[in-house]
Amino acid sequence: MFRFILRRLIVTVPMVLIVVSLTWGLIRLAPGNFYSGEKKLPAAIEKNIREKYGLDQPWYVQYGRMMRNILRLDFGNSLKYETESVNDILRRTLPVSAVLGICAYVLALVVGVAMGTLAALRQNSKLDYASMALAMLGISLPNFVLGPILVLVFALSLYWLPPARWGGFPSWTMVLPVVTLSAVYMAYIARLTRSGMLEVLRSDYIRTARAKGLKERDVVVRHALRGGLLPVVSFTGPALALLVAGTVVVERIFAMPGLGNYFINANLNRDEPLIIGIVAFISITILIFNLLVDIAYAFLDPRIRY
């Protein structure tokens, strides 16, 4: 087990470096620069800017500087927002995205598991159909559609909730983005739980548990859920990582000062240090979450050995 974790951690380093190098190359291939805009700059001004930010040096020098930064985990200053270091930006925006993502995932987990379990227990009942229809809707409604609908109804027609902006944690401003963000995960979790539970509920050890005269609640909560949730756990790894990075759309719709908003603009602005920093950060997160999921598996499923 320990060796497995160590091996995975060691592999993470070259993988991140490869991802970052590819990103670096892609930025270079994309036309334009962080300073280009509608009005073309006189050549001399462009030259001044390139000198100031070291863009006039040969590519290997720039690549080397970028790599050195990555290895020291200090990504330098943003080009567009020159008073801010990429590390500061990450430190400031990550909590916002993380709070949004984690709240959304907890909500999705609670509602999704409850919905899925109930649906499995009352298979083919009205409740089952209703919750699965709702889940289907959640999966097929993209968040850039769901978000505005929720805003229209709850913020602009009923005036119950603020339509956008970040008001800190916890605050009413979080409600709509969290619900929007969690809908699709909620739906997936409900469906995964339902199918997982259906399978487990038919298995021999559940029959044994019932035969021993355990209360139905204990059967479900203590025995069935543990096995029935395995698919949900394997979904959690990538989902959590995607949530942290993937609040992009929701942050945009609700004007949240999170990582996603910066990521979109960093790309549009060709803000190299910021793009590299965020990409490196996200790839590390995804790799670590995947590792955590593999470890969790070993605990939940006694059949798995590393």
Binding site for another protein (CB under 8 A): 30-33, 35-45, 47-49, 51-53, 80-84, 89, 92-93, 126, 129-130, 132-134, 137, 148-149, 151-153, 155-157, 159, 162-166, 252-255, 257-258, 261-262, 265, 268, 270
Distance of CA 296 to the CA centre of its chain: 19
Rounded to 10 deg, the angle between the 175-201 and 230-245 helix axes is 160
**If you ran DSSP here, which 8-state letter would residue 91 be given?**
H
Q: Which of 274, 265, 250, 247 is nearest to 88 (CA)?
A: 274
Nearer to another protein (CB atom), residue 254 or residue 289: 254
Place of tokens 């698919």: 231
Distance of CA 159 to the CA centre of its chain: 30
Q: How far is the CB of 2 from another protein (least distance, A)?
A: 42
Nearer to another protein (CB atom), residue 24 or residue 166: 166
Q: How far is the CB of 44 from another protein (least distance, A)?
A: 4
Q: How far is the CB of 274 from another protein (least distance, A)?
A: 12
Q: How far is the CB of 206 from another protein (least distance, A)?
A: 27
Nearer to another protein (CB atom), residue 14 or residue 31: 31
Dig out the tokens for 180 from the structure: 């929007």
Nearer to another protein (CB atom), residue 33 or residue 143: 33
Q: How far is the CB of 12 from another protein (least distance, A)?
A: 30
Q: How far is the CB of 128 from another protein (least distance, A)?
A: 9
Nearer to another protein (CB atom), residue 72 or residue 126: 126
Q: How far is the CB of 125 from another protein (least distance, A)?
A: 8
Nearer to another protein (CB atom), residue 74 or residue 294: 74
Query: How many whole angstroms separate alpha carbon 222 and alpha carbon 86?
Result: 46
Question: In sequence order, what are the residues at sequence separation of 6 or more whose Cβ sits closer than 8 angstroms to the Cβ of residue 220?
Answer: 117, 121
Nearer to another protein (CB atom), residue 251 or residue 287: 251
**Alpha-carbon distance values, 229 to 108, 113, 114, 301, 304 (Å):** 14, 8, 11, 10, 15
Rounded to 10 deg, the angle between the 272-300 and 2-29 helix axes is 150
- Looking at residue 87, its amino acid is N
Nearer to another protein (CB atom), residue 176 or residue 209: 176
Contact 100, 178 (CB under 8 A): yes
3-class state of residue 77 by DSSP: strand
Contact 184, 139 (CB under 8 A): yes
Q: How far is the CB of 84 from another protein (least distance, A)?
A: 7
